[in-house]
Amino acid sequence: METPAESLFRAEVAQWLQAHVPERLRHLTFRPHPSEGMPWYKQLSARGWIAPHWPVSHGGMDATPVQQVILMEELARAGAPDIPTQGLNHIGPILIECGTPAQRARHLPAILAGNVIWCQGYSEPGAGSDLASLRTRAVIEGDSLVISGHKIWTTWGHHAHWMFSLVRTSDGEARQHGITFVLIDLKSPGISRRPIRTIAGDDEFCEVFLDDVRVPVTNVVGEIDGGWKVATALLSEERLRIGSPALALKALLRLRRLAASLPQSSRTDELLAHAEIETETLIASFLNVAEAEQAKTATDSSYLKILATETVLNILDALQEIAGEDAPIRDATLTPHGYLDYSEMFLQSRRLPIYGGTNEVQRNIIATKVLGMPATRRRQ
């Protein structure tokens, strides 16, 4: 149950969003092009709500987990468009925790203001969930790293200005040794990018090719060869944010709209009720993990990533079932109940259990680190 202060915050957020979310951007499935989406990002930033989970000392809100969920719920209800979050949810928190004062001063204000878009250079061909097998290599030459390699599945890499990346700087006994975490200006010579079109028809992903790209050593976060520690800290934050109820709330809104447009049936009522319960379960789980993180209590967010992504899949599977013969329709359709999205979000959701570490890998992490089961040895 919300406190009076939380209820007042919800009313304030709902009223402001109703007045300020551009009508043309409401209830989109695809993330709008930067030329349309970034003005909204900057508007939300000017209101002070762009980084609720950041500390006030670095321009955030120090919002409680409940306040964060209230923002997610009201943003979904208002149909606010998706914004790029790699800066807000990934590199921003890592720079706050691990960056130098100079790195924080240079990059955090630009992230908050929406002047710079970030992307994540982790996955490579042959190194996705098995990230420690990455082969992009950096050689130290004076005060620079010279980087060559190939990154793939880079979300919004073709729109981004900067990329935070993992590169191999030496070969240690363990594969996790010799990896360095570095910030790369994508205007640097030697970088080329190629968008990847998905089954949903969007180009969210991109390949990034690096050919003898020179990066100042001052762009290294943490220590040379010590990037795995930084990377795992970022992955923990990433899985918490992937585990938020934001996408489930958007999916649930679509299911509610579809159910309202159809004749009442016991099966539709059953599926809708189940989706409501799953979403509330996810919200409670997110609050539990976020509160533990805020209190610096040891916790593992792997189960939350599984729960969140599979909740979205289940809701959209239900939507496909009750849509019946309309399920294959690709474009959102305007009805008296608003736009109905039959398959766009369904197709986009197929990637959710894969990125951020596949759900199968997350289950292995839970088995070994939480339940204490023996790890399976890799075959040679």
Residues that are catalytic = 238
Phi-psi sector, 109: left (phi>0), alpha (psi -120 to 50), beta: alpha
Query: What pairs with residue 333 in β-bridges?
Result: 340
Q: In this structure, are residues 124 and 150 in contact, taking their beta carbons and an 8 Å threshold?
A: yes
What's the DSSP call for residue 343?
S
Instruction: State how far the Cα of 354 lies from the Cα of 312, in Å rounded to an integer.
Output: 13
CB atoms within 10 A of CB 40: 19
Instruction: State how far the Cα of 182 lies from the Cα of 169, in Å rounded to an integer.
Output: 11
Instruction: State how far the Cα of 179 lies from the Cα of 167, in Å rounded to an integer.
Output: 6
Q: Which amino acid is residue 165, in one-letter code?
A: S
Q: In this structure, are residues 242 and 309 in contact, taking their beta carbons and an 8 Å threshold?
A: yes
Half-sphere exposure of 97 (CA within 13 A, CB side): 16
Half-sphere exposure of 256 (CA within 13 A, CB side): 11
User: Given the DSSP bridges, would you call strands 220-221 and 179-185 parallel, antiparallel or unpaired?
Assistant: antiparallel
List Cβ neighbours of 132 (8 Å cut-off, separation of 6 or more): 174, 175, 176, 179, 228
SS3 255: helix
Q: What are phi and psi of 2, to 5 degrees?
A: -75, 145
